[in-house]
Amino acid sequence: MAAPRKPFDPPSPQQTAFLERAINEYGRATYNYALRLSHNEADARDLTQEAFIRVYRAWRSFQPGTSFLSWIYRIVTNLHRDELRRRKGRYQEEIPEDNAPQQFKGARPLATEPIEELVDRQLSEPMSKALAGLSLEQRQVLILADVEEYSYQEIADIVGCSIGTVRSRLHRARHQLRRLIESQPKPS
């Protein structure tokens, strides 16, 4: 995902402090947005890293008084779209679970504690599958409107389309999501 980067200008304490504050205050939200968009932990990490590196490079272009989160969500949205375009046509295969690095022998990381797995499986699986069944455009708009609670105008700015497009994508996304949830087998 990493593209060749231009050399940085010499850093200033303000630039470093800006990045520090941005990561502290918005790192978690950005990572979760990337996770919801990509449905993939590795991609979410790459997207978050790349987005903050771009924030650092372009820090002077941030307008005080505007929403930082909208800005970084726009960066993540564009990076994700570009990445999918780049991958398009390439054969992709899910790596089986037991191919994952085995450094957690015995002690598993918190994110995959059995209790959490259980809760996630019980509560979230139908929703997770349904979300994965939406198109990228639908998922973007649905997450921004219903989870992040942005206005149609803000979503249009983040995604780069008209308000009318946001509205119609959202309507279709909700219709499709409901259909996908209802089509899943009910737990016995």
Partner 1 sequence: MKSHPSQEQLIDYLHGELAPGEDAAFLLHLEGCDDCRGRYEDEAHLTESLRSFARSTERELPAGVRAVIWSAVESSHRELGWAQRLAAWLRPAVAIPVAATLVVAAFVGYDSVAHRSGAPTIDAAYYLDDHAALTSAVPFNEGNTVPAALFTTESADGAQ
Partner 2 sequence: MARNSGLLLLAAVLMGGTPAPPPPADLLRDAMNAPERISYVGEVQVLRIGAERSDATIYRIEHRAPDRTRRWYVAPQDLYGDSVITRGSTTYSIDVKRERLVISQDEDADEQIAARSNFGILMANYNAVYAPDETVSGRAVYVVLLNNKYTGQTTMRVHIDAQTHLVLERQQYGSNGSLIAQTRMEQIRYTNAIPTAVFELPAGLNRVNGAARGQESTDIAHVISSAGFTAQVPKYLPEGFSPIAGDVVSIQDVPTLHLIYSDGIRTVSLFQNEKNAAADLSHYHAIATTVAEHPARYVEEGPTTLVAWSDGNRHFALVGDLSLTELEKIGASVLP
Tell me how crowded residue 65 is: count the other CB atoms within 10 A of its CB.
5
Cα 118 off chain centre by: 23
> Which one of residues 3, 8, 82, 182 is an interface residue with partner 1 (CB under 8 A)?
8
Q: How far is the CB of 35 from partner 1 (least distance, A)?
A: 6
Q: How far is the CB of 131 from partner 2 (least distance, A)?
A: 19
Q: Which helix (H) or strand (E) holds 176?
A: helix 163-182
- Of the candidate spans 20-28, 38-46, 49-57, 101-109, the one that interacts with partner 2 by CB under 8 A turns out to be 20-28
The size of the chain, in residues, is 188
Does 183 bind partner 1 (CB under 8 A)? Our answer is no
Does 156 bind partner 1 (CB under 8 A)? Our answer is no
Does 115 bind partner 2 (CB under 8 A)? Our answer is yes
Does 127 bind partner 2 (CB under 8 A)? Our answer is no
Does 118 bind partner 2 (CB under 8 A)? Our answer is yes
Name the residue among 142, 134, 132, 143 with its Cα closest to residue 168.
142
Q: Are 38 and 17 in contact (CB under 8 A)?
A: no
Q: How far is the CB of 163 from partner 2 (least distance, A)?
A: 18
25 binds, among partner 1, partner 2, none (CB under 5 to 8 A by kind): partner 2
Tell me how crowded residue 143 is: count the other CB atoms within 10 A of its CB.
21
What is the longest distance spanned by two Cα atoms in the chain?
62
Q: How far is CA 124 from CA 6, 105, 116, 129, in A?
A: 41, 27, 11, 9
Q: Are 45 and 93 in contact (CB under 8 A)?
A: no
Given the rule CB under 8 A, which residues bind partner 1? Answer: 5, 7-8, 10-11, 13, 16-17, 19-21, 23-24, 27-28, 30-32, 35-36, 45, 48-49, 52-53, 56, 111, 119-120, 123-124, 127-128, 131, 142-143, 145-147, 151-152, 167, 170-171, 174-175, 177-178
- What residue ranges bind partner 2 (CB under 8 A)? 24-25, 28-29, 115-116, 118-119, 122-123, 149
